[in-house]
Amino acid sequence: MGLIVQKFGGSSVANAERVMNVAKIVTDTYKQGNDVVVVVSAQGDTTDDLIAKAKEINTNATKREMDMLLASGEQISIALLAMAIQSLGFPVISLLGWQAGFSTNSVYSAARIKKVNTDRLKMELGNKKIVVVAGFQGLNDKEDITTLGRGGSDTSAVAIACALQADKCQIFTDVDGVYTADPRKVKNAKKLSEITYDEMLELATLGAQVLNNRSVEMAKKYNIALEVISSLNPIPGTIVKEVAKMEKMLVRGVTKDTDVARISIVGLTDVPGIAFKIFSKLAANNINVDIILQSVGRNNTKDIAFTVSKDNAPVAIEALRALPFVDEDLPIECDTDVAKVSVVGAGMETHPGTAS
Ligand code: ADP
Ligand code: ASP
Ligand code: MG
């Protein structure tokens, strides 16, 4: 008996039957005498569909309005799940991110959680309700809706688990645990019964979407053990924690990330500090730069190439063009036909690299 946070991703609540299946898992946990907070994502491909809807109207919409739109996907899920739980005869309440106390900074579409005010959550739990919370969203200082970035519901769940000092945080998904590679793509990938935060963080950061990297970072910081588990197949999943049993494997996992654009600035005048200026400018625009390559200087010029997510490429190019030393006719190349393949090893260095 204790306090359990259970998170269900989009595929786990994709249709009425799946929502009822989740209601059954949640109420079984409650029946065992636990307090239960449930975090859900938008159903199936809803978030992608909402992005497509926005693009039909305005390909350049502000991120504020995008967040306003995207947060609606999770609103549908919490209401439907609460209704499903009611139909099974259990006390339940659904809460949007802000109602559940999520304050974030104002970086729309990639907001960071500043605080979870647990008053409302504690009050509802005190009234013996199952609390269903919309993942992926919060409220900024201006009282505007923000979202945490794709896959952000994992982080919402971990944040609640930390704030309430939960006994368990279970991440239910459509695979039965963390594998050495994406089990949908690599048939002989091996399931790991345990993995350390650091290894999981590497896998997640390098493209294994099974857990969002920020959620792993937060779980490590607050020492919350995570269990990645299937919502459809009731077998033990993978535990993510500080120290894990080492299975005898040199390579812990392999990831592939295709959400990559490689931007190259060719023929920059080679003066000291130029790379610093470029990367500061990108940082000021909240662009995460990943792999960086700098050519050796020749004829007083050099090339700088780096990777960003595909989404960020147009903003990155615009930011670079605004730099005084990037002339209009200086070539900036953008290649989106690349992927990043990374090998994560137990105790080894990571060697990411891009390939066309
Ligand atoms: P959810 O909707 O539940 O959040 P996601 O689609 O975000 O689920 O994450 C689950 C998916 O992550 C799986 O369907 C699987 O294809 C993919 N995946 C990628 N790498 C791995 C890995 N190393 N282990 C397990 N799943 C992985
Ligand atoms: N619905 C959001 C997304 O598709 C958040 C999540 O699934 O965690 O990215
Ligand atoms: Mg996910």
Report percent pLDDT > 70 for the chain.
94
Q: Pairing mode, if any, of strands 292-294 and 301-308?
A: antiparallel
Residue 266 lies in a domain: yes
Question: How many whole angstroms from 10 Cα to the centroid of ligand 1?
Answer: 11
CA distances to 11, 15, 22, 141, 301 from 18, in Å? 8, 5, 6, 36, 58
- Residue 269 binned pLDDT confidence (cut-offs 50, 70, 90): confident
Residue 167 lies in a domain: yes
Tell me the average pLDDT of the chain: 92
Other Cβ atoms closer than 10 A to 119: 8
Is 0.85 topped by the overall pTM?
no
pLDDT of residue 346: 54
Better-scored residue on pLDDT, 300 or 2: 2
Question: How many whole angstroms from 292 Cα to the centroid of ligand 1?
Answer: 27
User: With a 6 A CB cut-off, is 196 part of the ligand 1 pocket?
Assistant: no
**Interacting residues of 22 by C-beta distance below 8 A, sequence separation 6+:** 8, 12, 13, 38, 40, 81, 84, 172, 231
> How would you list the strands of the sheet with 35-40, edge to edge?
92-95, 130-134, 35-40, 3-8, 168-173, 226-230, 238-241, 194-196
Domain match, 20 and 169 both? yes
Nearest CA to ligand 2 atom 8: 151
CA distances to 3, 266, 275, 298, 301 from 272, in Å? 55, 16, 8, 14, 11
Q: Which ranges constitute the DSSP H helices of the chain?
A: 16-31, 46-57, 63-87, 119-126, 153-163, 197-205, 213-222, 274-284, 313-321
Please tell me the number of the ligand nearest to residue 157's CA. Answer: 2
Question: How many whole angstroms from 178 Cα to the centroid of ligand 3?
Answer: 12
Domain containing 56 equals 3-173
pLDDT (tens digit, 9 = 90+) per residue, 143-198?
999 999 999 999 999 999 999 999 999 999 999 999 999 999 999 999 999 999 99
The residue to which tokens 């990108």 are assigned = 282
CATH number of the domain bearing residue 318 = 3.30.2130.10
Question: How many whole angstroms from 206 Cα to the centroid of ligand 1?
Answer: 13
| Residues in the 5 Å CB sphere of ion ligand 3 | 9, 151
Please give the number of the atom of ligand 2 that sits closest to the Cα of 154: 8
CA distances to 261, 262, 307, 339 from 355, in Å? 11, 10, 11, 6
pLDDT over threshold 70, residue 252: no
User: With a 6 A CB cut-off, is 175 part of the ligand 1 pocket?
Assistant: yes
User: With a 6 A CB cut-off, is 44 part of the ligand 1 pocket?
Assistant: no
Domain match, 276 and 158 both? no
Residue 38 lies in a domain: yes
pLDDT of residue 348: 46
pLDDT of residue 354: 56
Residue 354 lies in a domain: no
Q: Count how many domains the chain has.
A: 2
- Residue 296 binned pLDDT confidence (cut-offs 50, 70, 90): confident
Domain boundary among 157, 173, 189: 173
pLDDT over threshold 80, residue 356: no
